[in-house]
Amino acid sequence: MRVFITGAKGQLGSPIAARLGEEVAGRCDLPECDVARADQIGPAIAIARPDLVIHCAALTDVDGCARDPALAYRVNGLGTQNVALACAGAGAALLYISTNEVFDGEKCEPYWEFDEPRPINPYGRSKLAGEWFVSHLLTRFYIVRSSWLYAPGGRNFIHKITQLADEQGRLRVVADEVSSPTLVSDLVEAIVKLIRTDRFGVYHLTNAGCCSRYDWARKVLDLTGRGAVPVEPITRADFPRPSTPPANTALANTCAAALGITLRPWEEALEELLRHLVTPAP
């Protein structure tokens, strides 16, 4: 299979490229190629002649999307339109990485793939716009929704929590925002399995189970020898930010599980990562 990857330098695109190896026929990322520029992404995909495009490129700064919704729609919505049209022209299938934030968070149980999206912030709306273009411009596509991605390196939730704990000695963390922390390497393996099936559709791929931001932070501290650091649970209202995060966006893996594709519990994935990669408390 010949695969083209957008956002190939990013937290998800880079390990996908590494995992697929010689199957990668082309890749793009800023500044060389902007998916929001049809004149750049179109020729790049056409030259690569891929069988499948994995579209990871996105504006993922949720608060940045709230500050500049027009930019969010230009990158996540119209950028995905550009990629989908290029796939149509090249005869390629498309796997689009979407998000838990296409849901409003009002459901008390995990969201199924069949639940109606109702995003409540510009990031979620722009990613849903991308889903719309994918599903209306192509017949061969995967839409993969995931949540709370983290990986070794970079400034992710784990890095921020441990750094703040060491600097401040105490934390205040939101306890009424719930979803599923997902280890990038686990998501990559699930995606690779999915693209071997040719079973197109909408999929929810996260590590199994769910927790609040507070629970996640508490687990990180316990596993890194920082269990004595006090953590105060607060509400989303106590932590004002430009974006409005949905309360509960845990995702149920129904469709991929029917194909035998599941991800391990989030606690198990987190424990394995922290055992090898996070510096213990000073």
Q: What average pLDDT does range 6-22 have in this prediction?
A: 96
- Kindly state whether residue 270 falls inside one of the protein's structural domains: yes
Rounded Cα–Cα distance for residues 39 and 56 (Å): 19
Domain membership of residue 23 (yes or no) is yes
Catalytic residues, by residue number, are 123
**Structure-block tokens of residue 5:** 């990857």
Q: Which residue has the higher pLDDT, 279 or 129?
A: 129
* pLDDT for the residue numbered 97: 98
Classify residue 11: in a domain, yes or no. yes
Query: Which residues, including other chains, have CB under 8 Å from residue 75's CB and lie 6 or more apart?
Result: 35, 36, 57, 58, 59, 126
Query: Is 126 contained in some domain?
Result: yes
- Predicted confidence (pLDDT) per residue in 165-221, tens digit: 999 999 999 999 999 999 999 999 999 999 999 999 999 999 999 999 999 999 999
pLDDT for the residue 282: 54
CATH of the domain at 251: 3.40.50.720
pLDDT of res. 155: 75
Residue 282 placed within a domain: no
pLDDT of residue 202: 98
How many separate domains does the chain show? Answer: 1
Q: Indicate the pLDDT class of residue 276, thresholds 50, 70 and 90.
A: confident
Q: Considering the chain, what percentage of its residues have pLDDT values greater than 70?
A: 98
Residue 145 belongs to domain spanning: 3-213+220-277
pLDDT at 154: 67
Tell me: the pLDDT tens digits for 92-101? 999 999 999 9
pLDDT digit string, tens, across residues 101-118: 999 999 999 999 999 999
**pLDDT tens per residue across span 132-164:** 999 999 999 999 999 999 998 767 899 899 999
Choice between 263 and 278, residue whose per-residue pLDDT is larger: 263
pLDDT of res. 3: 98
| Mean of pLDDT values over 43-59 | 98
Mean pLDDT taken over the chain: 95
Total-model pTM: 0.95
Percent of the chain with pLDDT over 90: 93
The predicted pLDDT at position 281 comes to: 53
Does the residue 143 lie in any domain? yes
Report whether pLDDT(279) > 90.
Answer: no
- Look up residue 11 and give its two tokens: 């937290």
Residue 280 has pLDDT above 80, yes or no: no
